[in-house]
Amino acid sequence: MSAPIRLLLVDDQALIRGALGALLGLEPDLVVVGEAGDGGRAEAEAARLRPDVCLMDIQMPGMDGLAATRAVRASSPNTRVLIVTTFARPGYVREALAAGASGFVVKDAPAVELADAVRRVHAGLRAVDPGLAEASLFDGANPLTEREQQVLRLSVDGRTVAQIAAEVFLSAGTVRNHLSSVIGKTGGVNRAQAARIAHDKGWI
């Protein structure tokens, strides 16, 4: 019998790590060898444990899952990363794969599908939620520039144009131009709706 697939679980919620560990631990060919609650710890544990597969959340405090994926791949090149998240956004799929992840599944996937995804990425294959894979193909790449993303993120919590301008060292007119461009690219009617659309598509 071949050696079990060694797993590192990364999620900022201990309850989620425990649930994933319990589910995956029922599979005879899978074994959890470590856990981490943030990206920095994930990088250190990957370097120490050299797991076969790292199951990675996306939204975590400090280093997010995308940055952590790059860090884990750098510190343990033979470790495959499988993103497991509640944030089922097509934009995240493209970003995760670009960061070096081998797969992307949502947390409410059946346990048998999650275990199968682990085996697929361990075998060197891709494992992407079919619905998200299709949506990411037809959604297109993120049309927003880095500056437009930055300005839109700052506008989400109600900052005025003047406040945003001061924070990013731009003129108020330039900030308005960026926001106008964002509204046009997202198809929103105002910046609040543009932010919601961009957020849902994983663009910010």
> Which positions ≥6 away from 93 have C-beta within 8 Å?
104, 128, 129, 132, 133, 135, 136, 202
Neighbours of 127 (CB within 10 A): 23
Is pTM beyond 0.75? Reply is no
Residue partners of 32: CB distance under 8 A and separation at least 6 = 7, 8, 9, 21, 24, 25
CA 132/CA 166 separation, integer angstroms: 38
The ranges of the chain annotated as CATH 1.10.10.10 are 146-200
Residue 29 carries which DSSP code?
Answer: T
pLDDT tens-digit readout, 78-132: 999 999 988 666 677 778 888 899 999 888 888 888 999 999 999 999 888 766 6
For 132-187, write each residue's pLDDT tens digit.
655 555 455 678 888 999 999 999 888 999 999 999 999 999 999 899 888 888 87
Rg (CA), the chain: 19
Neighbours of 189 (CB within 10 A): 9
Least confident of 24-28, 125-129, 197-201: 197-201
Q: What class has domain 5-139?
A: alpha beta
Topology of domain 146-200 in CATH is: Arc Repressor Mutant, subunit A (1.10.10)
Where in the chain are all domains bearing CATH 3.40.50.2300?
Answer: 5-139
